[in-house]
Amino acid sequence: MTDQEFQQRVLQELLALKEGQQRLEARQEQFEKNQQRFDARQEQFEKNQQCFEARQEQFENNQQRFEATLQRLENHVQRLEKNQKHLESNQQRLEEKMNIRFERLETNINLRLDTLERSQECVIGMLKTITGKLNEIHEEQRSIKELLGDHEVKLRTLSRKPV
């Protein structure tokens, strides 16, 4: 190989190296652009991840508040059920007391009604006796009026009345 061939070959190699270096520099630029895009995307991803973590923390706080509220509601329901049982037992006792009082009242009313019926029968008997006696007195008064005369009875009645 001659000097000229050697120089040409070195020149070709240098040109190839220069082209390779240009391609490498172009790829390096492309790599750096891609790296910048990757860094921007990674930064956006980290922001999104922070946002997600904040939302997840907020969700967990809300879930804890919900669970606390649910626990309070369960406690209220238990107290309500206990109070309802207490009210039901009180209602049952009141109903029993009322039934006993109604039975006593009914017995008392029945006794009084029986007494009233007996008294009414006595009063009816007395009224019949009094009516009979009044009829007798009325008949006797008529007889006396006939004996004495109507004029004489009126004079005697007037003399008995106070003036």
Per-residue pLDDT of 3-25, as tens digits, reads: 888 888 888 888 898 999 999 99
Task: Indicate the range of 52-56, 90-94, 120-124 predicted with least confidence.
Answer: 120-124
Q: What is the pLDDT of residues 125-155, one digit of tens each?
A: 999 999 999 999 988 888 887 777 777 777 7
- Whether the per-residue pLDDT at 157 is higher than 80: the answer is no
**Looking at residue 161, what is its pLDDT?**
73
Q: What confidence category does residue 163 fall into, taking pLDDT thresholds of 50, 70 and 90? A: low
In the DSSP assignment, the letter for residue 149 is -
Query: What DSSP element (H or E) covers 30?
Result: helix 3-148
Q: Strand, coil or helix: what is 1?
A: coil
**For residues 44 and 146, what is the distance between their CA atoms, to the nearest angstrom?**
140
* pLDDT over threshold 80, residue 158: no
Q: Please compute the mean of the pLDDT values over residues 79-97 and round it to a whole number.
A: 95
Identify the pLDDT of residue 7. Answer: 86
Residue type present at position 114: D
Q: What amino acid is encoded at 100 in this protein?
A: I
% of residues, the chain, pLDDT over 70: 99
